Chains A and B, each alone.
Chain A
Amino acid sequence: MRYILRRLGFFVVTLWAALTVNFFLPRLMPGDPALSMMARFHGRLGGQALKAMEVAFGIDTHDSLLAQYVAYVGNCFTGQFGRSLTFFPETVSQVVFQALPWTLGLVGVTTVIAFILGTLIGVIGAWWRGGWFDSILPPVFIVLSAFPYFWIALISILVFSIALNWLPLGFGYTNGTDVTFSWSFAWDVLRHAILPGMTIIITSIGGWILTMRNNMIMTLAEDYVRMARAKGLSSARIMFDYAGRNAILPNLSGFGMSLGFVVSGAILVEYVFSYPGVGYMMLQAVLNEDFPLMQTLFLFITVAVLVAILIVDGITVLLDPRTRSVS
């Protein structure tokens, strides 16, 4: 329990750090980008949105830095992020909440698939040492994971979309169709998600396979595995119940650290496929110098990462009884 509480505390600190970075960034950057951005709104802002932007970017306000900061944090918790330049007059929160499901669906699902598949393959690869599986796999995946996500994305477009014309070029769904909860729409969405999904899985699975394999090999050398053999347990049981359950623990803690790569990959993949998720919006915002949208997206991505880490921590506590004891 204390473990979870400590992690929650960490969650809060990190969130606070992200908020603070967001707050100070526009004020520290040279050339006062905030002013030029506000000018582009041409006075179309009013009321709440205007106030929110003012405190976030420190414009036209005579309040002290501290007062601005407090107001800013308050706004974040009530969802007042201002209006988006790119998608004017939509508010930033509207844009973000529209894009979020697409990213969670694509990136969330594929990352979990990659983790599970990668871990399984790693376990099996470590078990069958000395076979072709073990000598070919690691180098292949090292090389594969060195390819930039977006390049694999480009190549897959080249092959599957342009050359073979099997799958669509990009976007979340075919342009012009209505967003409905029907099977045909669902199928459309799925078709559009295959290429970006495959790209993410291919590039990220390598890392999981390799780390799990190495963990497994180290675990298989442990005495309790030798003991399990001595007890006459079946290979499957030793592989999964004795070795696997212990080997996966460091992998789980590494999951949190790998989320940084997952996010960067997701952004680039969405960009290449023009997939309407959070990453794509982020880049649109960059192109249009839409700072409110950019920074809010950063905040939400941080929250998503923290939630993912918290979930993984919960799973770790379930799997590892040593974390449950008070240290």
Chain B
Amino acid sequence: MTTVNDEAPGTARRSRLQPVWAFCRAVLSNRKATAGALLLAVCIVMAAVPGLIAPGDPNAQLYMPGQGPSHDNLLGTTSYGQDIFTQFVWGARASLVIAVVAGLLSTVLSALIGVAAGYFGGIADGLLSLATDVFLVLPAFPLVVIIAAYSKNGGNAVIIAVLVATGWSYGARQLRAQVLSLRNRDFLIAARLRGERGWRIVVSEILPNMVPLLVANFLGASVYAILTAAGLQFLGLGSVNTDSWGTMLYWAQNNEALQAGIPLWAIAPGIGIAVLGAAFALLNYAFDEIGNPVLRPVRKKRVRGNS
């Protein structure tokens, strides 16, 4: 849903850093974007240097099992005597990596198929669009579950592969639509007249105009990846020995954490997933607003008195 914004007349490109500064200003001026960026930063820190925040082995069964929060264990302990807080911090990495990698690959695949369909048109478009629509409609989650069930214990790589294979279709549709609308614009006709060849035109003329939509796609695909990966891991279809928030939930559910009086075991990873998902979703929504001023929050002003 993002639109391409024309630059205000008269602004000269003063330096290479200009767009970066503009970007930062845009993020800071929009409350949702700032919130999303902050949440994301927190998760990134947890993923990058978990040892600094919660030193120790998350899987080490050192403590009394099933305890509530205490001085030693900020969030209590699991049924196996592991520290929930440590597990929580260390779990960030796998969740973030899956989200970003799956999101990126998904966006790349969407871009390849969507742009090819939109640009080349004709039979290629017809076939690619049909394939996109079919994949869009086929229920992804059951398919994902079946494939994961067949290839048990494949680890994160399988999860990522399956997520990408089922998640690319939505983005492809959007990107194709935008390419179609750009295709007949004058600057492209000019490029063709200059003799530039197909793929060169795509890369140097079309793609730069599609950056906002690509970013939106990436953010959306990441949200999809986070939630679906969490679901799969929760069901025990990921590799149950890796540290991630989804697997934490799996073990918590298996040990009936809620009934056993240690709900934090289930609550903490859920909040983690929600925070990561919310971060991407907020950024996505904010970019929509930045690109399309009509959607921005309206602050009502009083009409100055007359009559």
Closest to A158 in B: B258
Closest to A294 in B: B146
Known contacts A17-B138, A286-B145, A148 near B230 by CB under 8 Å: yes
- Is B285 a contact of A142 with CB atoms below 8 Å? yes
- Is B139 a contact of A302 with CB atoms below 8 Å? yes
- Contacts of B151 on A, CB cut-off 8 Å? 29-30
- Is B235 a contact of A256 with CB atoms below 8 Å? no
Mostly, the A contact residues are helix
- Is A301 a contact of B142 with CB atoms below 8 Å? yes
Closest to B31 in A: A139
- Is A139 a contact of B270 with CB atoms below 8 Å? no
- Contacts of B139 on A, CB cut-off 8 Å? 259-260, 263-264, 298, 301-302, 305
Mostly, the B contact residues are helix
A-contacting residues, B211-243, CB 8 Å: 223, 227-228, 230-231, 234-235, 237
B-contacting residues, A233-256, CB 8 Å: 256
- Contacts of A271 on B, CB cut-off 8 Å? 235
Known contacts A150-B231, A305-B137, A155 near B267 by CB under 8 Å: yes
- Contacts of B259 on A, CB cut-off 8 Å? 162
- Contacts of A121 on B, CB cut-off 8 Å? none
Q: Is A98 at the interface (CB under 8 A from chain B)?
A: no
Known contacts A154-B253, A298-B142, A257 near B136 by CB under 8 Å: yes
Q: Is A143 at the interface (CB under 8 A from chain B)?
A: yes
- Is A263 a contact of B142 with CB atoms below 8 Å? yes
Closest CB in chain B relative to A139 CB, distance in Å? 6
Q: Is A49 at the interface (CB under 8 A from chain B)?
A: no
- Contacts of A138 on B, CB cut-off 8 Å? 32, 285
Q: Quick check: which of B104-112, B117-125, B184-192, B272-280 contacts chain A, the rest being far away?
A: B272-280
Closest to B273 in A: A148
Closest to B145 in A: A286
- With A and B bound together, what is the CA distance between A51 and B96 in angstroms? 46
- Contacts of B266 on A, CB cut-off 8 Å? 151, 154, 158
B-contacting residues, A273-296, CB 8 Å: 282-283, 286, 289, 294-295
List A residues at the B interface (Cβ < 8 Å). Answer: 10, 13-14, 17-18, 21, 25-26, 29-30, 33, 129-131, 134-135, 138-139, 142-143, 145-151, 154-155, 157-158, 162, 210, 214, 217-218, 221, 256-257, 259-260, 263-264, 267-268, 271-272, 282-283, 286, 289, 294-295, 297-298, 301-302, 305-306, 309
